[in-house]
Amino acid sequence: MTSAAVLTTRFRARRRPTWALSTQVLLALVVLLLGTVFLGSVIAPYGATDGDPANRLLGFGSAGHLLGTDGQGRDILSRLILGTRLSLLTGIIPVLIAGTVGSAVGLCAGLASRLVNTLIMRTLDVFYSFPSILLAIGVAAALGPSIKNAIIALSIVLIPPVARIVEAEVVALRSAAFMKVAECSGASRFLIAVRHVVPNIRAPLVVYCTTLIGLSIVDAAGLSFLGLGASPPTAEWGLMLNDARNYFFRAPAVALAPALAILLVALLFNALGDRLRVELDVRQRGATP
Amino acid sequence: MAAPEFLLEGRGLTVTYGNGVRAVSDVDLTVRHGEIVGLVGESGCGKSSLANTVLRMVKPQSGTLSFNGKDLLAMHGDELKAVRRSLQVVPQDPSTSLNPRLTIAQSVEFNLKVHGWGRRERRARVMEMLDRVGIPASYSTRYPHQLSGGQLQRVAIARALVTDPSLVVCDEAVSALDKSVQAQILNLLAQLQRDLDVAFLFVSHDLTVVEHVSDRVLVMYLGRIVEEGPATEILTAPRHPYTQALLASIPTRGQQRAAIHGEPPSPVNPPSGCGFRTRCPYAVDACAGYDNTPHAVGPDHAARCVRLDDLALTAPQAWRNS
Ligand SMILES: Nc1ncnc2c1ncn2[C@@H]1O[C@H](COP(=O)(O)OP(=O)(O)OP(=O)(O)O)[C@@H](O)[C@H]1O
Ligand SMILES: [Mg+2]
């Protein structure tokens, strides 16, 4: 082989072929959601707090109010659009934080000695034994109601499950034959972690975190619903649901819009996670082109 | 300093696991520079335990082990890392011994990265080794699942040889492959041994595989080396009844293969004296009191059996008819 050929030799795989249509559709929907976050104030027909007391509790399809109005005469569609920003923020930021901290903890625990591993994992189990929403409520209540504290509470709640997933993956990898070979080659624990462990846990981690976004959105809405997150009159889906509680028997439709928004977005991220599970698996890729 | 006679010299190696299993008992193991030593024995006799001891993956309970004249068991840190460069492994199943998330070139390259090679040198060297083991350059960016078992084992061999080692431990390196592919890989190993002057410790449960490549063969039973000698002598003039039995169990054209009767005894509670006496058709009372000292039966040829002098076992046929 000539030296010129050696220099142009790539050891990385060529980029994967295009993703399946269903994955692309789900990704397009996520992009649409992000677009709503940034362009919300442009798209929304009314302001978040523009109330019209004369037009309270209008139903779906009313003139000028596609999704009707709430108990203070505010346009539900506008509040839904403007609430996307906070709801996505409280869904994604805790997952980013927990994803980083949790995988670092899980990686360390997985590669550590038995004693250190037991110490870390049993500590995490204490937190993990609470239902996520209960723990979030506890932490948020202790810190005081605010969006920032809700995000902190959710981050803390999500660290143990992420760490457990990563630790389980790492422990399973430890017995793999290629890890023994790497050890035999004289590689340091750090180099083995970076080169052999991380590439193997990256895909499951991304998949798991994507599905966690859905959970985080639901929990964040729950915190706001309980008055532990955003405070009125902010447009936020959980808060809108809380507001609708007062009129539930007179105008159940008011609750329907935010409830469906939470449900659908959570489902969207779950479905996306499921698709990524397939897409990120190198074994499902075709032969090199 | 004159080079020591043996590249690898183990004396009195004993490996006992926490569960009381004595996997290796008082084993002497030597490998000369550029020599292929075969280690053969039934499943569970302790071959991998011995191989892992040589690789410094298992600590022996007692015994000494030196590599290139230096005490391998006392090494740690940078010194051990430097030795690991000259002491490589080709494991059994290439489908699990290569990281599924790395391209094969990345897997081979990793071994050089560990030892601080620069990027350019790494690339040139990896491509050279892949070429040597017969993997086309265009395959270098493929993932393991895109290659056949034989190709993967070639990659595993390239990975082991890329650091220019002086000893490669092959633990059942061809056992997971088809017979025809086995032959190709064995030929490749023999070729590489000639070209690169590297020594191999070749471990297998299959005597036909071992005799194919080895200069010298060690026969292991229940943690002990029962016979060792030049490959040709072991094949044509075996002296230990167990070696006889192994040879007789090789199926040959038109002849029934004779399996060894019974199961090997538990290594937790091995029989006293000779370990093979519970299955040996020639066993006598003296076998139970045998102290397992080896008896030289020729130059470089020794066996552990009390009846060496009165048993005239030469042809495997004698075993078959018994
Ligand atoms: N880590 C371990 N802990 C406890 N016992 C072990 C361990 N590894 C091996 N053993 C036991 O030691 C004995 C020898 O095992 P070893 O793997 O060395 O045999 P082997 O000859 O390589 O067998 P095979 O052909 O099946 O690979 C067996 O009885 C096995 O159960
Ligand atoms: Mg083995």
A114 in contact with chain B, both atoms CB, cutoff 8 A: no
Q: What is the mean pLDDT of residues A217-233?
A: 85
Q: What is the pLDDT of residue B255?
A: 59
Give percent above pLDDT 90 in chain A.
36
Q: How far apart are CA B279 and CA B263, in angstroms?
A: 8
**CATH topology for B6-86+165-320?**
Rossmann fold (3.40.50)
Q: Choose the weakest-confidence range: A100-114, A204-218, B142-156, B279-293.
A: B279-293
State pTM to two decimals.
0.83
pLDDT of B320 above 50? no
Residues 198-237 (A) with a CB less than 8 A from some CB of B:
199-200, 202
Both tokens of B132, joined, read: 């040597």
Number of the ligand 1 atom closest to the C-alpha atom of B47: 21
Compute the distance between CA of residue A155 and CA of residue B310 in angstroms, rounded to an integer.
79
- C-alpha A280 to ligand 2 mean position (Å): 34
Contacts of A140 (CB under 8 A, 6+ apart): A149, A150, A152, A153, A223, A228, A229
Q: What phi and psi, each to the nearest 5 degrees, are found at residue B170? A: -105, 105
- ipTM for the assembly: 0.86
Using a 6 Å cutoff on CB, does residue B46 contact ligand 1?
Answer: yes
Task: Give, in order, the Cα–Cα distances in Å from A167 to each of A14, A102, B84.
Answer: 30, 9, 28
CA B264 to chain centre: 20
3-state SS class at B15: strand
Choice between A181 and A242, residue whose per-residue pLDDT is larger: A181
How confident is the model over A76-133, as pLDDT tens digits? 888 889 889 888 988 899 999 999 999 999 999 998 889 999 999 999 998 888 888 8
Domain positions in chain B: 6-86+165-320, 94-164
Residue A281 has pLDDT above 80, yes or no: no
Chain A residues within 8 A of B137 when measuring between CB atoms = 1, 5, 9
Angle between helix A76-111 and helix A21-43 axes, rounded to 10 deg: 130
Q: Compute how many other C-beta atoms are within 10 angstroms of the C-beta atom of residue B64.
A: 14
What's residue A8's pLDDT? 53
Atom of ligand 1 nearest to the CA of B43: 25
pLDDT at B1: 52
Q: Indicate the pLDDT class of residue A37, thresholds 50, 70 and 90.
A: confident
Give me the amino acid identity at B262: G
Strand order in the sheet with B216-221: B87-90, B167-171, B199-204, B36-40, B216-221, B224-230, B301-303, B295-298
For chain A, the average pLDDT equals: 85
Whole-number Å distance, alpha carbon B206 to ligand 1 midpoint, is 17
- The model's pLDDT over B17-50, given as tens digits with 9 standing for 90+, comes to 988 899 999 999 999 999 999 999 999 999 999 9
Q: How confident is the model over B2-6, as a mean pLDDT?
A: 77
Give me A129's structure tokens.
Answer: 């034994």
- pLDDT of amino acid B291: 86
Query: Quick check: A184 and B57 CB within 8 A?
Result: yes
Q: What is the CATH number of domain A23-48+57-284?
A: 1.10.3720.10
**pLDDT of res. B67:** 95
The number of the ligand nearest the C-alpha atom of B267 reads 1
Chain B residues with CB under 8 Å of A6 CB are 120, 123-124, 127
Is residue A246 scored above 90 in pLDDT?
Answer: no
Contacts of A196 in chain B (CB under 8 A): 99, 102, 110
Query: Among A222-231, B45-54, B109-118, which stretch is predicted with the lowest mean pLDDT?
Result: A222-231
Task: Report the nearest-CA residue for atom 29 of ligand 1.
Answer: B44
CA of B260 to the centre of ligand 1 (A): 20
Q: Mean pLDDT lowest for which of A12-26, B21-35, B155-169?
A: A12-26
For residue B315, what pLDDT is reported? 47
Pull the structure tokens for residue A162: 């992420």
Binned at pLDDT 50, 70 and 90, residue B252 comes out as: low
Q: What is the pLDDT of residue A214?
A: 86
Mean pLDDT of B74-98: 93
The residue ranges of every structural domain in chain A are 23-48+57-284
Nearest CA in chain B to A4: B124
Where residue A282 falls among pLDDT bands split at 50, 70, 90?
low
Assess contact for A153 and A139: CB atoms under 8 A.
yes
Alpha helices in chain B (DSSP H): 47-54, 77-86, 94-97, 104-114, 119-132, 149-161, 179-196, 207-213, 231-236, 241-248, 316-321
Report pLDDT digits (tens) over B193-250.
999 999 999 999 988 888 888 999 999 999 999 999 999 888 888 889 999 888 887 7
Per the CB < 8 A criterion, the answer to whether A211 and A158 are in contact is no
Are B123 and A181 an interchain contact pair (Cβ–Cβ within 8 Å)?
A: no
